Copies of this chain bind each other. A is one copy, B any other.
Amino acid sequence: MPPRRKPPRKSYHHGDLRNALLKAAREVLEERGPSFLGLREIARRAGVSAPSAYHHFESRDALALGLAEQGAAEMAGCLAVTPGEGVYALLPYGEAYVAFVQTNPALYRLMFGEGFPAVSHYSQAIRDLRQRSFEIMRANLEQRLPETHVPIAALFLWAICHGLGLLLIDGQVDTSPAPKDLVHQVLKLAGTGLNVPAV
């Protein structure tokens, strides 16, 4: 096969190029993983020159931060659900959280710094973004539990959603019979505890 010709340069309105670059970055991320997330490749996909891309994202870490910001905003949107009833009040939040992880596996991993140790360990911005979804769940718990119980309950909920989401996207769980119901059943136990049979 002959080498692909360079695509013609595209022109973008101010602001649109940033979004086009993020869109291209997200495609690369989900298709090929974080190690392929280079600015040259992203620029090529968006049909612009590398310097144009550098104008918006000065480094690979800046691009990762942009993606994480987008992910955090989308995730917060997904968590805008109606609470359930009684002991299952938080179930819709858990399901929305895990569904986001399953729909955006590489983006979710990136939001936790995988493939980007500098972002993971040093960037306060990324850390703050990660807390956003946690805060939504915590705010809901504050309406339901005594104040002193909220921090532990919120961490419990976050841990179960984070752990279940990661086990699922890692392929650790055989989801062939009924994946959606499986998540539902597991998350119900967060409401009832282990000793109440999951019906």
- Categorize the interface residue count of chain A: 35 or more
Partner of A164, one of B117, B163, B185, B190: B163
Question: CB distance A186 to B112 under 8 Å?
Answer: no
Q: Cα distance A172–B111 when bound, in Å? A: 12
Question: CB distance B145 to A159 under 8 Å?
Answer: no
What 1/0 mask marks residues of chain A from 79 to 122 whose CB sits below 8 Å from any chain B CB? 00000001100100000000000000000000011100100110
Copies of chain A in the complex = 2
Q: Does A33 contact B (CB under 8 A)?
A: yes
Query: Which residue of chain B has its CB nearest to the CB of A131?
Result: B172
One of A6-14, A21-29, A191-199 contacting the partner: A191-199
Q: Cα distance A92–B197 when bound, in Å? A: 21
Question: CB distance B195 to A191 under 8 Å?
Answer: yes
With A113-B170, A152-B182 known to touch, is A194 a contact of B90 (CB < 8 Å)? yes
**Interface residues in A22-45 (C-beta closer than 8 Å to B):** 33
Q: Does A171 contact B (CB under 8 A)?
A: yes
**Would you give 6 A-B contacts (Cβ < 8 Å), ordered by A?**
A87-B193, A112-B166, A155-B182, A156-B186, A159-B186, A190-B194
